[in-house]
Copies of this chain bind each other. A is one copy, B any other.
Amino acid sequence: MTSDATQPTTAFCQHDHNHCIDSAMAQARHLCQQRGVRLTPIRQRVLELVWQSHQPLGAYTLLGLLAEEGFNSAPPTIYRALEFLQHEGLIHKLASINAFTGCCNPGTPHEGHFFLCLSCHQALEIDTSTLQHSLQNSAGKHGFSIAQQTIEITGCCAQCQSKQNTENHG
């Protein structure tokens, strides 16, 4: 098995993640202002924490992180913040692992479709326009009207695969 294929820049690749965070936060502030909704300190901090993590975070993990910073929060607080962020399209929930991750493209409304690496636990949001098409096609055949999509594919990312190959052959 070779890994010569050129790969797009994704969560699975080395990159300046601080840049991602800054830009995501700026975009979030912009969108909220535009829409006349309030990105309060808690909401903002939750979004930052989600973005800072290299893997999707659970609600209670976030709760713990907030507690460390002096936010005196109980579960409802965090779930409200997460609900707000989801509603504004700033984060996605990963139902299969009960965790949340930042949305890479919050400007345009879309469903979150993900590859989840079982090894490094990172989530890669994928663009699936063709997949979308065949789903709509299938829905049409059954007369089904689509509301929301949960598409979460687990497996092993390219990085982890090559790591494992190195270990096995080294």
By the criterion CB–CB under 8 Å, are B8 and A141 in contact?
yes
* Copies of this chain present: 2
Identify A130's interface contact among B127, B134, B145, CB under 8 A.
B134
Q: Mark A145-157, 1 if CB is under 8 A from B, else 0.
A: 1111111111111
Contact residues of A with B, CB < 8 Å? 3, 5, 7-8, 10, 12, 95-96, 115, 117-118, 124, 126-128, 130-131, 133-135, 137-158, 161
Give 12 new A-B contacts, CB below 8 A, not counting A7-B143, A146-B154, A149-B154. Answer: A5-B141, A8-B142, A139-B153, A142-B157, A142-B158, A147-B156, A148-B154, A150-B152, A150-B153, A150-B154, A151-B151, A151-B152
